[in-house]
Chain A
Amino acid sequence: MIKTDALIIGAGPTGLFTAHQLKLIGLSCEIVDNLDKIGGQCIELYPDKPIYDIPAVPECTGEELTNNLIDQIKPFNIKFHLGERVDQVKKEADNWNVKTSNGTIFQTPNVIIAGGVGSFEPRKFPVKECEKFENQSLFYSIKDKKIFEGKTVSIFGGGDSALDWAVELSKNSKVNLIHRRDEFRGAQATVDKVHQLAKEGKINLLTKYQMTAIKGENRLESIDIKSDDKEFKTLKTDYVLGFFGLIMQLGPIANWGLNMDKKTIEVDTEKFETNQKGIYAVGDICSYPGKLKLILSGFHEGALAARACFKLARPNEKYRFEFTTSSKTIKERLGVKSD
Chain B
Amino acid sequence: MAKITYITDDNKDHTIEVQNGLTVMEGAVQNDIPGIDADCGGGMACATCHVYVKDEWFNKIPKKEDGEEDMLDMAFEPKKNSRLSCQIVVSDELDGLTVNIPSKQG
- Do A and B come together as binding partners? yes
Q: Which residues of A contact B (CB under 8 A)?
A: 41, 45-46, 49, 117, 123-124, 126, 157-159, 179-181, 183, 185, 210, 228, 244-245, 247-248, 263, 293
Give the nearest-CB partner of B29 in chain A. Answer: A262
Query: Is B63 positioned at the interface, with any CB of A under 8 Å from its CB?
Result: no
Contact with A along B48-66 (1 / 0, CB 8 A): 1000000000000000000
Partner of A180, one of B39, B41, B48, B78: B78
Contacts of B37 in A (CB 8 A): 263
Contact check, B46 vs A180: say whether CB atoms are below 8 A apart: no
Give the nearest-CB partner of B80 in chain A. Answer: A228
Partner of A248, one of B43, B46, B69, B73: B46
Cα distance A335–B43 when bound, in Å? 39
- Provide a sorted-by-A list of 21 A–B residue pairs whose CB atoms are within 8 angstroms: A45-B43, A45-B46, A46-B43, A49-B45, A117-B39, A123-B74, A123-B76, A126-B77, A126-B104, A159-B73, A180-B73, A185-B70, A210-B77, A210-B78, A228-B80, A247-B39, A247-B46, A247-B48, A247-B105, A248-B46, A263-B37
Tell me the smallest distance from the CB of A276 to a CB of chain B, in Å.
25
Enumerate the 8 nearest inter-chain pairs by beta-carbon distance, A residue then B residue, closest first: A247-B106, A185-B70, A45-B45, A245-B74, A117-B39, A126-B77, A158-B73, A244-B74
Interface magnitude class on chain B? 20 to 34
Given the known inter-chain contacts A41-B40, A45-B43, A45-B46, please indicate yes or no for A126 contacting B69, CB distance below 8 A. no
Total of A-B residue pairs, C-beta within 8 Å: 51
Contacts of A180 in B (CB 8 A): 73, 78
Q: Which residues of B contact A (CB under 8 A)?
A: 37, 39-41, 43, 45-48, 69-70, 73-74, 76-78, 80, 104-106
Cα distance A147–B61 when bound, in Å? 47
- By secondary structure, the B interface counts as loop
Contacts of B41 in A (CB 8 A): 293
Give the nearest-CB partner of B104 in chain A. Answer: A126
Cα distance A310–B37 when bound, in Å? 36
Given the known inter-chain contacts A45-B45, A49-B45, A181-B69, please indicate yes or no for A248 contacting B104, CB distance below 8 A. no
Tell me the smallest distance from the CB of B78 to a CB of chain A, in Å.
6
Tell me the smallest distance from the CB of A123 to a CB of chain B, in Å.
5
Cα distance A180–B73 when bound, in Å? 7
Cα distance A49–B40 when bound, in Å? 13
Contacts of A228 in B (CB 8 A): 80
Cα distance A244–B48 when bound, in Å? 13
Cα distance A245–B45 when bound, in Å? 11
Cα distance A123–B71 when bound, in Å? 12
Cα distance A180–B50 when bound, in Å? 16
Tell me the smallest distance from the CB of B18 to a CB of chain A, in Å.
20
Contacts of A41 in B (CB 8 A): 40, 45
Contact check, B39 vs A126: say whether CB atoms are below 8 A apart: no
Tell me the smallest distance from the CB of B105 to a CB of chain A, in Å.
8
